[in-house]
Structure 1
Amino acid sequence: MKKSFPALALLLTVGAYCLPGCSPAEESAPESGGAALLEEAKSWLTDRGERLLNSARDEIRRVVGLDGAAPGTLAVVNGHAVSLRQVEALYDMRTAGSEAAQALSLDELRADYASCLWTLVAQRLVHEELERRGLAVSEAERLREERRVSAGYGVEPGAEFDAFVRDEGIDPALWREQMSARLELELWQTTLAAGISPSPEDVSAFMREHPELAEEPARYTYLSVSGPVKARVDAARNGGKSDPAALEKQGLTVERLEDTAADLPPSLVAALEEIRPGQSLPVQGEGEQWGYVILLEKEEAHPKRALEVFACAQEALRRELLPALYDAWLDEAVKNSRIRISPHLLPRNVPRPAPRPLPEPEHGNDDENALMGGQDE
């Protein structure tokens, strides 16, 4: 649903204009000069209207604090414009399907728009940092992510997925822009985390605080089979096939996944513990989203070797230290950038959202987060 946003409007009310040299008492004119007088009047009103309109546009740009910027620009980051259209799109992705968003006050809406604007500014700074370092998200990675998200909705990437996104009230081009920004943020945070080198003493202390790291949790390899038609999904499960190619020929989406018990919901772990490799869980879902799981392999939980525990603790500590490091980098990037933000249209004192965590395996309802904008950057 399209969200509205307070905008400045120009209202021109044209009453009884009098041409120079005339007064209302002199309305009548010789019949022969009527056409010429009408043309002169039209020309005068047109010129005056254009002057007023241009003046209003200049005033709008002055009010939002971005003289010389294109209309609709809410921020300029190192010469790169961030538009109202981008802010609206991100807001729509974040609030799609939310009834609470329809009952916001003007100040609350402005604060939400300000949060979206800050996210877009931070995304631009991340993009520029990656460019400086010669890093980039490849086109293949973007296509793979789009296929992953579209598969979660049972549609093909491309035209079919675009139509699905439009039905959700989202511009496909702006959705892809946000998808790319999310992948860039993950790349940059992975790069930042790789530079974190906790001391052996800190890692040892972390290991003592987290004894659960000493055990390798149970690991499951399984197929996630899904489709929009319940009868077709039921038939596939009852057929007992576990060959992905054969299932895909039936019009179903099949993903081969491998996760530890720590990565999965407890309810799913409990269900997988009740079946043997080759067996499947019951079909679940609603509407046009139905699916089931086929267990392929199961590795029982077991103690880790000392070096494995140390490496696991080191990585976990990196993740714990990452938010502060990202925050410090972002503060420095802002200080070293030329950023202009509309001072009147949006508040400037909105708290910055916490950075996204490092990429983790995403399943289930995360596809909906990917479509609707996911977490705040």
Structure 2
Amino acid sequence: MVRKFNFIFLYLLLTLLLWFNMACNNSGQEPGVVALVNGSPIYLHQLEANYDFLHLEWGETLPPSVEHLQQEYGQILTNLILYKLVEQELAVRGLEVTDKELKAREEEVRQDYPPDEFEKILIEEYIDLNYWREQLRLRISWEKFIQEVLRPRVKIDFQEVQDYYQKNLSEFYLPERIKFLVFSSPDQGKIKKALISYKKKTEVEELRKKFPDMIIHEYFMRVDQLPMIWAGEIKKLKPGECSKIKNDKKSFYFLVVLKKEQASLLEPFQAYSIIEEKLIQEKIRRLFLEWVEDTLQKAEIKINVMLLKKKESDNVREEN
């Protein structure tokens, strides 16, 4: 989404450039229009829907101030303007999101829910289906813009990756890590039986079936991030060894160390894909910011001055 590319910077950039473009009042406009982006309207109901979605769980005892509302509406409007510009760019290139694409993506989402449950969940979350579809279309537009407009312009060569690796070695240091199992149950008798069975080489999946009420978790953690209650015992155990049965006052448990990995440094070939993706994302971010600045300079964007703070609107040239 747009926020991945430093939303605050974009908000300030767009706001600054809009002040130097033009603003408009309501005279002669279609009712409910809060902004025009190259003649294409953004409506008040879109602002309100986005604002309401952001504050579904708003629990403040006092209503927000006018200044706060203006600021939040301004940020939402910035987002909508950016999406509008992205959609227009896609349309020029013949890449706009089709109804067929939207329907296919919606069906993908619905497959994760039982029949008729998707609409029920939207209703429970107070989300209008049409609003959800509008947001889905924006998401698809954004993905297409990144993948089909910006990504083809990004090139990464081996030397760039090598230079990044040498300058950022600390990012590729892997501290000592341990993979281990935790068996726990409030029933001490079951824990004793599970420990005996495990020592007889019974597979973990078999133990899960044999003791369905027992909690059996596998962890793979850095040594310096181990919970204190387990750290001392785990560090003493060798791979394959089990701890004695312990009691943490909530349940009985024992630990099994599966594997210990020593601290190491990723080799360049191991880190290549990680670095490449990081460099790609950084170049896409830069290209996007350049595109925003260039597009805004050429765009005709008109904003309803009623949305602007008084001190800001004093610096804006209004259309009569």
Give the TM-score normalised by the residue count of structure 1.
0.47
Structure 2: gaps of 5 or more residues: 1-22, 178-204, 210-219, 228-260, 314-320
Give the corresponding residue for 1:197.
Answer: 155
- Aligned-residue Cα RMSD (Å) equals 4.4
Contact 2:33 2:44 in 1 (8 A): yes
Residue deviations 1:82-128 (CA, integer Å, cap 9, x gap) = 11000000111112113249632111011111111111111111111
Structure 1: gaps of 5 or more residues: 1-62, 219-236, 242-259, 268-299, 351-377
Give me the whole-angstrom Cα distance separating, in 2, the residues matched to 1:162 and 1:80: 30
Give 1:306 deviation, angstroms.
4.8
Give 1:134 deviation, angstroms.
2.7
Give the corresponding residue for 2:142.
Answer: 185
Residue 25 of structure 2 is aligned with which of 56, 65, 82? 65
Give 1:202 deviation, angstroms.
3.2
Give the corresponding residue for 2:74.
Answer: 114
Pairs within 5 Å for 1:51-130 = 65-100=25-60, 103-130=63-90
Give me the whole-angstrom Cα distance separating, in 1, the residues matched to 2:62 and 2:117: 29
- C-alpha distance 107-101 of structure 1, shift in aligned 2 (>3 A): farther
User: Structure 2 counterpart of 1:318, which letter?
Assistant: I
- C-alpha distance 205-305 of structure 1, shift in aligned 2 (>3 A): closer
Give me the whole-angstrom Cα distance separating, in 1, the residues matched to 2:273 and 2:64: 47
1:342 aligns with 2:300: no
Contact 1:206 1:313 in 2 (8 A): yes
Give the corresponding residue for 2:294.
Answer: 332
SS for the counterpart of 1:340 is strand
- C-alpha distance 315-98 of structure 1, shift in aligned 2 (>3 A): same
Give me the whole-angstrom Cα distance separating, in 2, the residues matched to 1:101 and 1:130: 43
Give the corresponding residue for 1:374.
Answer: none
Residue deviations 1:25-55 (CA, integer Å, cap 9, x gap) = xxxxxxxxxxxxxxxxxxxxxxxxxxxxxxx
Pairs within 5 Å for 1:229-244 = none
- C-alpha distance 102-203 of structure 1, shift in aligned 2 (>3 A): farther
User: Structure 1 counterpart of 2:298, which letter?
Assistant: N
Give the corresponding residue for 1:206.
Answer: 164
- C-alpha distance 340-189 of structure 1, shift in aligned 2 (>3 A): same
Number of residue pairs matched? Answer: 216
- C-alpha distance 167-332 of structure 1, shift in aligned 2 (>3 A): same
- C-alpha distance 183-145 of structure 1, shift in aligned 2 (>3 A): farther
Give the corresponding residue for 1:171.
Answer: 128
Give the corresponding residue for 1:28.
Answer: none
- C-alpha distance 111-145 of structure 1, shift in aligned 2 (>3 A): farther
- C-alpha distance 99-134 of structure 1, shift in aligned 2 (>3 A): same
Return the structure number with greater relative CO, CA threshold 8 A, min gap 6. 2
Give 1:167 deviation, angstroms.
3.3
- C-alpha distance 309-214 of structure 1, shift in aligned 2 (>3 A): farther
Contact 2:162 2:268 in 1 (8 A): no
Give the TM-score normalised by the residue count of structure 2.
0.54
SS for the counterpart of 1:169 is coil
Give me the whole-angstrom Cα distance separating, in 1, the residues matched to 2:153 and 2:114: 38
Give the corresponding residue for 1:133.
Answer: 93
Contact 2:102 2:136 in 1 (8 A): no
Give me the whole-angstrom Cα distance separating, in 2, the residues matched to 1:94 and 1:335: 30
Contact 1:213 1:312 in 2 (8 A): no
Pairs within 5 Å for 1:209-224 = 209-211=167-169, 212-213=171-172
Contact 1:64 1:343 in 2 (8 A): yes
Give 1:205 deviation, angstroms.
2.1
Give 1:304 deviation, angstroms.
7.0
Give me the whole-angstrom Cα distance separating, in 2, the residues matched to 1:323 and 1:79: 27
- C-alpha distance 78-197 of structure 1, shift in aligned 2 (>3 A): same
Give the corresponding residue for 2:257.
Answer: none
SS for the counterpart of 2:305 is coil
SS for the counterpart of 1:103 is coil
